[in-house]
Amino acid sequence: MEIDGERASVLPGDAVLIPPGARHQVRAGAAGELRFFCCCAPPYRREDTYFE
């Protein structure tokens, strides 16, 4: 998990709060499998998504 340039490991059962407007990304680790559940408030808007 990376939020505004700061990286952290996330393990099963962890929860992560992403502040509004923060640039963030999540990637699968060496195991290659990733499952996550995302709750957005305010609701997600497609125009807020950026890919680099």
pLDDT of residue 36: 86
Whether the full predicted model's pTM is greater than 0.75, yes or no, is no
Sign (positive/negative) of CA torsion 11, 13, 17, 22?
Answer: positive
pLDDT of residue 33: 85
For β-strands 6-7 and 24-25, DSSP reports them as unpaired
Q: pLDDT tens digit string along 2-40?
A: 999 999 999 889 999 999 889 999 988 887 888 888 888
H helices of the chain, where?
none
The residue segments making up the domain with residue 22 are 1-52
- Total domains, the chain: 1
